[in-house]
Amino acid sequence: MASEEAGEVIYLDPNSRFEIRLIPESGYAEAAEVLAPATGEGTTEAALARIRQFADEGKIAVYGGVLSGELVAAYLLKRDGMANEVALIAVSFEQRKRGIGRLLLKDALHRSGKRPLTAETDEEGLGFYKACGFKLVGRRKQPSGVFRYRVGWHAPGARFKGGTTGATEGRQEVGPARSTAEES
């Protein structure tokens, strides 16, 4: 899915020197350590299993956020039909609340291009996605009684009003998507 060379710097924030890099297969274990809290199980093994499952299907790219030479954040970008999905995203506990998660989502939006970008999250992560400009598109109750939420960001271009009824009426053109990360 990714066309960049593994390990090559593909984003650099000039202020903080924060880099986003494509993680090669040899770095999946390190990325899994960062992504572990984002799995339901909370383990490195669960994160590595998810990475390998999607990698075997050939549908993912793993991106890592590097600060001062240390991997402090990561996300999985998965092709999901006509959309892209952030399958997992996490920032190390020590680096949270510094805008790194927003930078990762901004990067994912950029990579998604005109494809919609979606994610599934729990109650704890819902506020983060909404603060970054994602909209709630679905809610599902798990057998455990816990709710999972589907959020999405529509690609720039034509959007339709009216949901499932009258979807082709009132077509309007909108400008490029703006991330709230750009505003802060």
pLDDT for position 169: 31
pLDDT for position 11: 62
Does residue 77 surpass a pLDDT of 80? Answer: yes
Model confidence over 80-130: pLDDT tens digits? 888 899 999 999 999 988 889 999 999 999 888 888 999 999 888 899 999
Question: For the chain, what percent of residues have pLDDT higher than 90?
Answer: 44
**64: Cβ contacts below 8 Å, ≥ 6 apart:** 20, 21, 23, 27, 30, 31, 34, 71, 73, 74
CATH number at residue 71: 3.40.630.30
Q: Is residue 162 part of a domain?
A: yes
Question: For the chain, what percent of residues have pLDDT higher than 70?
Answer: 76
Q: Is residue 4 part of a domain?
A: no
Q: Is residue 106 part of a domain?
A: yes
Q: Is residue 37 part of a domain?
A: yes
Does residue 156 surpass a pLDDT of 70? Answer: no
Q: Is residue 3 part of a domain?
A: no
Does residue 177 surpass a pLDDT of 60? Answer: no
Mean pLDDT of 40-56: 90
Q: Is residue 2 part of a domain?
A: no
Q: How many domains, in total, are found in the chain?
A: 1
Name the more confident of 111 and 156.
Answer: 111
Q: Is residue 1 part of a domain?
A: no
Structural domain for 103, as ranges: 9-183
What is the per-residue DSSP string for the chain? ---SPTT-EEEEETTTTEEEEEPPGGGHHHHHHHHGGGSSS--HHHHHHHHHHHHHHT-EEEEEEEETTEEEEEEEEEEETTEEEEEEEEE-GGGTTSSHHHHHHHHHHHHHTTS-EEEEE-HHHHHHHHHTT-EEEEEEE-TTS-EEEEEEEPPSSEE-SSTTSSTTTT-EE------HHHH-
